[in-house]
Amino acid sequence: MLYYLFDYLEKQYQIPGASLFGFTTFRAAMSVLLSLIIATAYGKRIILFLKKKQIGETIRDLGLEGQQQKSGTPTMGGLIIIISTLIPVILFARLDNIYVILLIITTIWMGLIGFLDDYIKIFKKDKKGLKARFKVTGQVVLGLMVGATLYFHPEVTMRERNQTMITDQFKVQEVEGKPIKSTRTTVPFFKNNELDYGNFITWAGEGAVNYAWLIFIPIVILIVTAVSNGANLTDGIDGLAAGTSAIIVFTLGIFTLVSGNYFFSDYLDIMFIPRAAELIVFVGAFLGALVGFLWYNAFPAQVFMGDTGSLTIGGVIAVIAIIVRKELLIPVMCGIFFAESLSVMVQVAFFKYTKRRFGEGRRIFLMAPLHHHYQKKGYHESKIVTRFWIVGIILAILSIVTLKVR
């Protein structure tokens, strides 16, 4: 909203400094600051409200040290992240940008699913929360909306690479490529690092490429569902999900910055995505909200994010990655989420296999998800969180390096 106000003031009255709001980087910086202020200054009030309403976490006894001391800690703290993100975005972002609209919808949609899950756990006294089929259905519907929008919306384009032409004077000249609809994405670590999802359907004959959405949309649904569930599984000890997510979002911010800037993308020889630069305002607000939430979520946590926060975080990260065509980097960039999810899948599969084969279920990990395995081994949760953050930083650096290492 402020963008439009100051744009009007600049054009009509030439007010000094009003033109600053025309710069995406300035508005992104302001969104980071405001989200931090909201999360830290007003987060305490939200925590007190949650305490007053007795919205506390019920902790199952898993035999972990210090676990029962956390019982009663306010949950649904994801509301802090959501509010601290949306207010700066509404104030500083251009609300006519399709990518910003898509991320606002993602934040609200996943926030509602997570809120409903937490509500059932707390007020209906059902520890299982929202039934898995309803939760997955909500994630699939979001993936369907995101995939359909990115495929069919006319403003979702990328720009073709510059083309070389010979003028009448036999001079070589670079001609700027035109915006096109495309289902191409980036393949990390490869020199000719673009993959077109439409190629997976060319076997169906001529004209089949027009039905590339049959491939693209299911892939989007899979990514949104997988990453949101991965973030949900990572939210198990104080500061782990929030800190790890902040590192991932910062990395995505760099990808957004270079992908949405013509000169950066041309220099790095990566896809230029028109209108994606505005995403940096949302990314800045989301990053500030995560760091601000960490102020209260660091050990010992004064509030838990609950599914309200973790599902929202995973959904937003997945959609940003898809928008900037870096979804194939998710196993590296979101390596902590991936490891946590994989540990659960391996544990369950091995337990079922050994029970069927030997009549007795056996385990690979002492407990899944992975962070609980280290708790069982006697590591303090602060040490686990710090080491996971370090691994997350290493993975983030490796992800950024893929811009040039191919």
**263: domain range?**
26-401
The answer to whether residue 17 is domain-embedded is no
In a domain, 6, yes or no: no
* Distance from C-alpha of 36 to C-alpha of 42, rounded to nearest angstrom: 10
Give the tens place of pLDDT for each residue, 13-22. 888 778 888 8
Q: Total structural domains in the chain?
A: 1
Whether the CA torsion 317, 341, 186, 197 is positive or negative: it is negative
Per the domain annotation, does 123 fall within a domain?
yes
Name the band, by pLDDT with cuts 50, 70 and 90, for residue 63: low
CA-based nearest residue to 21, from 40, 2, 47: 2
Most confident of 65-74, 169-178, 334-343: 334-343
Q: Which helix (H) or strand (E) holds 166?
A: strand 163-166
For residue 111, tell me if it sits in a domain.
yes
Grouping H, G, I as helix, E, B as strand and the rest as coil, residue 29 is helix
pLDDT in tens, 84-137: 999 999 999 999 999 999 999 999 999 999 999 999 999 888 888 899 999 999
| φ/ψ bin of 382: left (φ > 0), alpha (ψ from -120 to 50), beta (otherwise) | alpha
Q: Is residue 62 part of a domain?
A: yes
Q: Is residue 59 part of a domain?
A: yes
Residue 4 placed within a domain: no
Task: Give the per-residue pLDDT at 16.
Answer: 78
pTM above 0.85, yes or no: yes
Question: Cβ atoms within 10 A of the Cβ of 394, count?
Answer: 12
Q: Residue 291 domain-assigned?
A: yes
Q: Taking all residues of the chain, what is their mean pLDDT, rounded to a whole number?
A: 89
